[in-house]
Amino acid sequence: MRGEWGERGPGRATRGRASERTRERIVETALRMFRERGFEATTMRAIAAEAGVSVGNAYYYFSSKEQLVQAYYDRAQQEHEAACGELLAVERRFAARLEGVLRAWVRVSEPYHEFAVKFFKHAAEPTNPLSPFSSESAPARESAIAIYRDVVDGCSDRMDSELRAELPELLWLMSMGVVLFWVHDDSPGCARTYRLIERTVPLVDRLVGLSHLPGLRGVVRDFLDVVRELRG
């Protein structure tokens, strides 16, 4: 059987599924312990013991606690993409697409709110690899920007062509402001965060909608020049 199936045999598939289950168990255990004990107080040894694997096995999947949080970023991003899919497939108005994406992020992130409150001080440090602006977070960041690129590319609204090209990253930066507000939001069901989105999106929509008018194109160019200079 081994010779017949080779590396593509059912044994390899079974091992692959078992490996993925072990990886997910380590991630789930780590996130729970981060919520309960805090990031600093939780060690890889404790995570391994709680997950029922050896320390060496835990390090085989994740070289550090920071990698475990990056796994959380990836998971949260996948859940956000799934939550946005139906809306972005049918809705063509820019404001509705943007509001739907932001609200979907708050909804899928709700189970992690307590964890985010405890963890934010680490992610807020500019030099921390867990910062959303770090090189280590680049894959999750690019995936998030891609969602906002879909928001822009799939909308039917008129807007300045140069602004359209820059808008996905600007919308992601705006979403980082929403995240910061959400972290500190202790209202029931994060109602204040939803209210922030409800009030902010129409303002963004109006500004974007005015960008193609001849009298405002110069202002748009000046704004984009500032963005490019700061980015560089």
The strand ranges marked E within 181-226 are none
Q: What is the pLDDT of residue 7?
A: 54
Total-model pTM: 0.83
Kindly tell me the number of DSSP H helices and DSSP E strands found in the chain: 11, 0
Predicted pLDDT at 1:
46
DSSP H helices in 10-135? 10-37, 44-51, 55-61, 65-90, 94-109, 113-123
47 φ/ψ angles, rounded to the nearest 5 degrees? -65, -45
Domain 1-63 = CATH 3.40.50.2300: no
Alpha-carbon separation of residue 13 from 16, 18, 24, 67 (angstroms): 5, 9, 17, 25
How many Cα neighbours within 13 Å face the side chain of 161? 0
3-state secondary structure of 129: coil
The per-residue pLDDT for 202 is: 97
Grouped pLDDT means (10 residues each) for the chain, 232 residues: 52 72 90 83 92 92 88 86 95 97 95 80 82 88 95 95 94 95 94 98 94 85 86 73
Helix, strand, coil % over all residues of the chain, rounded to 5: 80, 0, 20
Domains of the chain, residue spans: 1-63, 73-231
Architecture of domain 73-231: Orthogonal Bundle (1.10)
Q: Which residues contact 52 (CB under 8 A, 6 or more apart)?
A: 25
Q: What is the pLDDT of residue 94?
A: 97
